Structure 1
Amino acid sequence: MRKMTSIHLLSAGKIQSFRPIREEEVSLMIAKIGKICDDEREGGGVVDLSEMTLSLGSSLICRIAFGRGHEDEESKKERRFGEILREAQGVLASLCVSDFFPSLSWVDRLNGYRDWIDATYEKLDVFYQEIIEDHLDPKRKNESENENEEDIVDILIRLKEDKSLSVDINIKALLVNIFTGATAATVWVMTALMKAPQIMNKLQQEIRNLAGKKGHVDEDDLPQLPYLKAVVNEAFRLYPPIPLLTRQAMQRCTLQGYQIEPKTVVYVNAWAVARAPEYWEDPEKFVPERFLNIDTDVATGQDFGFLPFGAGRRMCPASLMGLVNVELAVANLVYCFDWEMPKGMKVEDIDVESLPGITVHKKIPLLLVPKRSGLA
């Protein structure tokens, strides 16, 4: 199933085919922020960057996975999907009594935990069923005959109907696995940059020198922005999208003197690994330069001191797509605008506390005041 996902859904070629969607959605976000800049004289001017980037993520997922319909329907679908997704992430990150004491599973039913799980996944099931039925509509199927215009659900339906595959595809289960890991990584990068003005200035200089007065940063520019990649890597190190990696022991083994039995659930603290003082110099400091002189590819999961997307066969299959999404969004945010703190607030007031969840979201929204750079 993972091989099928990597080859047919999230291959480099397929990710590249989604480029117009990424660039359009980032452009729409920049336009929304620009409108807030223009409305500043009427009392506006403050942008909730946490909400703005979450909205961008939901829009990207909905268009890439589910395709595009009428504008009003799309807006309702994105809001509904975002709400269900956040609830599902909360369920996945929570702990229940039966995880540790199976014989006490009745406690989870008594305290309402089991009902919460059932209700959340019933919402997901209903949502995905509606999407699948919409894609099975004969009119829509005729419109999606060109594989370059297929979204992820179109591909999954086509593969399920392909009798040559050796496995039966559970479309809903695959969608849950792919999208419940959606993150708010962009806002963490911007949080780190706001707390380090000199680094923000250095990044802006790199991007603006390259893009000039083009008005935007596109994906062709990204390979020519090494400091941007270093900034994103360093933000991923300090604020990994998935701080706890879950694995299951396949056979009996010994780890640092402890005997681990088969089927034991093992949690790897990726957050702690990325801040280990024996591996990283000044691990608590935001220093993008540390990634300029080392050959690091975060999308492959081969650097075991730094695992923002996990590692091995169970690492995040959407790491390549997630990385380009974040780089493109951050590049345009810092190219198009200069960012300031709201009146009465200082950089020191920016909080880095996170909400519980399988992926890390800021507990307190990042509120900033954008000023047009004059280049966009």
Structure 2
Amino acid sequence: MFLVGAETTTSPLNEQWLNCNPKTLMKAKHEILKVVGKNKRFEESDIDNVTFLQAIVKENLRLHPPGPLVLRKATKDTNFMGYDIPKTTHVLINLWAIGKDPENWSDPLSFKPKRICPGLQLAHRLLHLHLGSLLHQFDWELEDSFPFDMSEKMGMTVRKLKPLREIPTKSSF
């Protein structure tokens, strides 16, 4: 079902289910139903009108970035924490650590869609389109009970140690 894009785009979709309790998912489904209606597909043009869904995606990307590191290039000579970084130097930024840093986030390991989220734009529109479509067209049950094992394994992408198994059924809305 999630083979339509690169792993860095599709793997965060699985995380949405892990972090959403049934009440949160129902709130998102009601928001989508209000915006889209019953007889229309969720489309990219709907994304701007589903603010709670946007909060879920952003908070999830904070907690579980699809890749732990992002590469950037310094645009000017700078000094960071006593280190001189010349212009054009490549720097790796650890998004995984930043998203879980208690100096930046109160209760950093808790999933709170209403908190102020970082502006991580990785696959932003596509994640909303996929998640909105899946919530709009299906009801979901999980094979395992809540809460889930949130253990992760690091690599080029961040994955769950234990795969999540979802059971879709035709939407009751």
TM superposition score normalised by structure 2: 0.80
Q: Compute the displacement of 1:260 (Å).
A: 5.0
Q: Which residue of 2 aligns with 1:184?
A: 11
Q: Compute the displacement of 1:262 (Å).
A: 7.7
Deviations 1:308-356 (A, max 9, x none): 35xxxxxxxxx4xx211110110111122221122xx312244441341
Q: Which residue of 2 aligns with 1:57?
A: 5
Structure number having the greater helix percentage: 1
For residue 27 of structure 2, what is the amino acid of its counterpart?
Answer: K
Are 1:236 and 2:61 an aligned pair?
Answer: yes
Distance 2:66 2:113 in 1: 17
Q: Which residue of 2 aligns with 1:308?
A: 120
Distance 2:111 2:140 in 1: 18
Q: Which residue of 2 aligns with 1:365?
A: 163
Any unmatched runs of 5+ in structure 1?
A: 1-51, 59-85, 87-180, 297-305, 310-318
Please tell me whether Structure 1 or Structure 2 has the larger radius of gyration of its CA atoms: 1
Q: Which residue of 1 aligns with 2:37?
A: 212
* Residues 1:260 and 1:199: Cα distance change in structure 2 (over 3 Å): same
* Residues 1:374 and 1:201: Cα distance change in structure 2 (over 3 Å): closer
Residue 341 of structure 1: which of 129, 142, 157 is its match? 142
Q: Compute the displacement of 1:275 (Å).
A: 2.5
SS, match of residue 288 in structure 1: coil
Deviations 1:79-106 (A, max 9, x none): xxxxxxx7xxxxxxxxxxxxxxxxxxxx
Structure number having the greater strand percentage: 2
Distance 1:222 1:259 in 2: 41
RMSD (Å), alpha carbons: 2.9
Matches within 5 A, 1:26-175: 52-53=1-2, 55-57=3-5
Are the aligned partners of 2:139 and 2:172 in contact in 1 as well (CA < 8 Å)?
no
Q: Which residue of 2 aligns with 1:286?
A: 111
Residue 24 of structure 2: which of 199, 218, 231 is its match? 199
Q: Which residue of 2 aligns with 1:323?
A: 124
Distance 1:219 1:262 in 2: 38
For residue 67 of structure 2, what is the amino acid of its counterpart?
Answer: I
Identity of aligned residues (%): 31
Deviations 1:258-282 (A, max 9, x none): 4557886532212222223233222
Are the aligned partners of 1:207 and 1:225 in contact in 2 as well (CA < 8 Å)?
yes
Distance 2:79 2:43 in 1: 49
* Residues 1:323 and 1:265: Cα distance change in structure 2 (over 3 Å): closer
Q: Compute the displacement of 1:289 (Å).
A: 1.0
Q: Compute the displacement of 1:234 (Å).
A: 0.7
For residue 335 of structure 1, what is the amino acid of its counterpart?
Answer: H
Q: Compute the displacement of 1:228 (Å).
A: 0.7
SS, match of residue 191 in structure 1: helix
For residue 329 of structure 1, what is the amino acid of its counterpart?
Answer: H
Q: Compute the displacement of 1:253 (Å).
A: 5.1
Q: Which has the higher contact order (CA 8 A, sep 6+)?
A: 2
Any unmatched runs of 5+ in structure 2?
A: none
* Residues 1:323 and 1:248: Cα distance change in structure 2 (over 3 Å): closer
Q: Which residue of 2 aligns with 1:276?
A: 101
SS, match of residue 91 in structure 2: strand
Deviations 1:119-176 (A, max 9, x none): xxxxxxxxxxxxxxxxxxxxxxxxxxxxxxxxxxxxxxxxxxxxxxxxxxxxxxxxxx
